[in-house]
Amino acid sequence: QKFVKEIIETIILGLLLFLALQFSLQNFRVEGSSMSPTLEGGQHVVVNKLIYTNLPNWSLFRNIPYIENGTNNRIYLFRSPNRGDIVVFKPPFDNKRDFVKRIIGIPGDTVAILNGNIFINEKPQEESYIQKSSNGNMLPQKVPNGSYFVLGDNRPSSNDSRKWGLLPGENIIGISWFSYWPIKQLDILRVFQ
């Protein structure tokens, strides 16, 4: 009877761990070259889905330390998405696929592109991760609450906010945490600003 009890406890513990991991982490396979050289096609990353978790908009949560009050009346358990985060998301035009891009503009920012150079709030941005820039232009665009402006690191071959507009915050699945496959590309990606 004791043996059966221990087996049942082990199975329950295993199921709880499995559910916790499913809720907080997801693996993602990069397709295409839009994030090159940061992420290459075929590379696998672990996505942290917990970092941007939204809490109900109750006054109880607004008084707890380390809880961030975000835009659009969102309360984040850990933090809101930041500029530079590499995020996995459902694009607004196709909820069957996941994309990976870098957040360039956050709510309140005004984003412009002049000869391929990014300007945030009229200030040019240093983008050391870019190897191939484009020569394109984009008139200044203000990012409203609850939305983000995302771009691929390989600007000439990226399907991103320049083509389909702003990314709704609720479409973000999580932040790319680290690359684990192939082994030679094992790397911790930038998570904290």
User: Can you tell me the distance from the alpha carbon of 107 to that of 81, in angstroms, rounded to the nearest whole number?
Assistant: 10
Helix (H) or strand (E) holding 141: strand 138-142
Q: Which one is catalytic: 36, 49, 80, 101?
A: 101
- Amino acid occupying residue 4: V
Instruction: For residue 184, indicate whether it is catalytic.
Output: no
The catalytically annotated residue of 34, 147, 161, 176 is 34
Tell me, yes or no, if 176 is annotated catalytic: no
How far CA 67 is from CA of 62, 77, 82, 101, 190, in Å, comes to 7, 5, 15, 25, 21
Helix H or strand E encompassing 162: helix 161-164
- What's the token pair of residue 17? 């761990």
Residues 6+ apart with CB under 8 A from 69: 62, 75, 76
Select from 153, 150, 151 the least CA-distant residue to 35. 153
Q: Kindly report the backbone phi and psi dihedral angles of residue 76, in degrees, each rounded to the nearest multiple of 5, phi listed first.
A: -100, 135
Are residues 151 and 160 in contact, defined by beta-carbon separation less than 8 angstroms? yes
Residue 135, CA distances (Å) to 55, 93, 118, 124, 172 in order: 41, 25, 11, 15, 28
Active site amino acids: 34, 101
